Structure 1
């Protein structure tokens, strides 16, 4: 593997970590999960954040290695510390569900990571924050709506549905049933079951 990565590096004049990560991606696509994991791990151990993220995915889903959420969290943390947006999202979710330490500390660290990921355009983080701010212990409806709109405008049908709920119930915005219906229709057209049911009601 390292020889193949070295040849790839020489051909394209790229860093060995990038070459290993590319080999890992191609190996995963070909169904060679163990080889992919090995490539990702070699690149991750060299500090390459994209590979660290990929190792986290492998551990989270048990691809090419045994499933291990703690190790997944470790690698997501490594990649997140290098500002890898999707790793920030995944590590935040890990912190909220499985992370060590006090709930208060994990919560604040996770929200900060989610906001960074959302700011980088990660739709999943925008959607998560939208619901989080609407339904949290101290709801911030306008902030929640802002994130839901970002996710909806990126094509997330579930967030579009939640935007409709906000307009229907006046959460973070003045109540407007016509606007709610518009969002429900868009969400339903994108395949959202809840929006379809809401339109039938």
Structure 2
């Protein structure tokens, strides 16, 4: 029987909606393990925020990178924000812009807004 990443993802979403982040992590991990980019993206958010797991920025960034490799557009925006504000890593505006641009080229809805905010801060 083949594992269904969609059902793992949906179970994780429901758990997190009910604020059961530990259960959400369990199912996002299963979704990520079978290739679901959204599962990686959501795991990144939980690790960065410390919900359902001990906060671990490095692990969160690792999951963001996996999500990017698997095609999750929103992960570019998230990575850009992390670089823009130096959240858990040294601030790097050039890398932030790079991720926002990639997200914008892929159709990410918030990338242009993020780029505009950086441009107006100068």
Tell me the TM-score range normalised by the shorter chain: 0.7 to 0.9
Structure 1 distance, partners of 2:5, 2:110, is: 29
User: Aligned-residue CA RMSD in angstroms?
Assistant: 2.1
Name the SS of the counterpart of 2:14 in structure 1. Answer: helix
Given the alignment, which residue of 124, 130, 150 partners 2:44?
A: 130
Query: Displacement, 1:184?
Result: 0.7
What TM-score do you get using the length of structure 2 for normalisation?
0.79
Alignment of 1:46-195 (within 5 A): 83-98=3-18, 106-137=20-51, 139-195=55-111
Query: Displacement, 1:140?
Result: 2.1
Name the SS of the counterpart of 1:193 in structure 2. Answer: coil
Query: Displacement, 1:109?
Result: 2.2
Give per-residue Cα distances to partners, 1:9-33, cap 9 Å, x unaligned.
Answer: xxxxxxxxxxxxxxxxxxxxxxxxx
Structure 2 distance, partners of 1:96, 1:198, is: 27
Count of aligned pairs: 115
Do 1:157 and 1:191's aligned partners in 2 also have CA atoms closer than 8 Å?
Answer: yes
Query: Displacement, 1:90?
Result: 1.1
Structure 2 distance, partners of 1:113, 1:172, is: 25
Larger radius of gyration: 1
Structure 1 distance, partners of 2:41, 2:25, is: 13
Higher RCO (C-alpha 8 Å, min separation 6): 2
Show the counterpart of 2:120.
none
Give per-residue Cα distances to partners, 1:124-151, cap 9 Å, x unaligned.
Answer: 1111111222234553221211111111
Do 1:163 and 1:180's aligned partners in 2 also have CA atoms closer than 8 Å?
Answer: yes
What TM-score do you get using the length of structure 1 for normalisation?
0.51
